[in-house]
A and B are shown apart, each in its own frame.
Chain A
Amino acid sequence: MLDVLLLGGALVLLLSDRRLTVPSGTVLLSLVAATAAARVAMADLPNVQPVSVMVLLAGATMGARRGVAFAVLVTILSNTVLGDGLWTLLQAVGWSLMAVAGSKLDLLEHGVLRLGRATSLACVLALPFGALTTLSVLGPNVGLDALPALLWSGLPFDAAHALGNVVVMLWAGPSIVRWMTFREIADPMAITGLEADASLV
């Protein structure tokens, strides 16, 4: 039920985006699939989360609305393999907030990634993300009084998340931005005359 609501929310966000075209939507969904696959593939590395860098850059390149949709879709898709539960909601919220942060904090300058700023942000945001997702452990049998110890013992794993983000951002960040910076190119077959020839060239 929760997944349906999240999925519905993501679709509403996408469909209400007037700038979204079929080609850009296709690119976005392809990146969702690739990111989810990367997350599943790296699941055995403790808390190394390639999704964090992807959603941060999705927010920076596509804007908050599409970034949030991207984050939600990746979370749901990857958790169908890795395991679904209350944590799906918290992860979706956490990564959505990262996407929003990416859209607001000027990570691009003239279309080029500001690598130092983006890396710092990816590193720092791992900590609140870890704190947020830790809340999924709380429940009828685990009260708020357990939270300090949980947050404390999770810190080394948050450090792994942060360092993983640094590696992914520094090594793949600029390339990811190029993939995500989708530019609409006119279909030359739909244009008549000399302009079409010019477009084909």
Chain B
Amino acid sequence: MNRNRYRLLSIPYVIWVIGFTLIPILFILIRALTDDGGAFTLTNIVAIFSPLHRKALIMSLCLAFISTLICIILAYPVALILRGSRIKKKNIILFILILPMWMNFILRILAMQMLISNNGIINHILELAGLSPMNIINTPRAIVLGMVYDYLPYMLLPVLNSILSIPEDVIEAAKDLGSDKFHVLTRIIIPLSLTGVGSGITMVFVPSMTEFVIANILGGGKIQLLGNIIEQEFTVSMNWNLGSGLSVSLMAFVLITSFIFGRNNESTATGITI
């Protein structure tokens, strides 16, 4: 009976969504589809395929893909180990694992920079140990390292949640029906954790694909990702139409890619409540 009236409570939010989510998207679309004079054009959209931009796009795709993959490879065993262990305070371990998320993003990148820069701590230690210093900063490897470091918690959280929430009796039922450990893993645990992995992929792939800060700090500005190019269009070149066009194309790429290999499971991304 009061359902109708309760729906009215969302009016401020609906207005906010229209005003600050939908209209801005409309604006970026308009900018993307027009030139300086305001005439309709597709130049800005297809600009992503120009030789210069294409190189950045491929670099972005590769780095994001590699980072996401490493995150999955690192996170999945953690979830399996935690599930198998008798540690009672699994939630505390989970909490400790994702706590770095609460640390300022820029500071974390900065910390990573101090560790791996040429005169950084790791090289210092290597030197003391009489080993040759490694040269990693300002390479794509450094960017991948930064992305993995930064986004691993975003993969850990949904993957752990989905694996830890598989009921024990489902696994016992599988064993009862004759599954061995490997069979349980491939036929029960992995299929049931796919939604978690999917949202983890979205949460890692989307930001790493559109990254420019990590590339600027750890890549030393030498490696151009699509994010860097877009940022420069807005802050340096001041070609907002081109910047918008590139953003729209980038977003299309992100959505398509994460849909293909992540099935874009945004609803499970809500597992961030602790």
State whether these chains interact: no
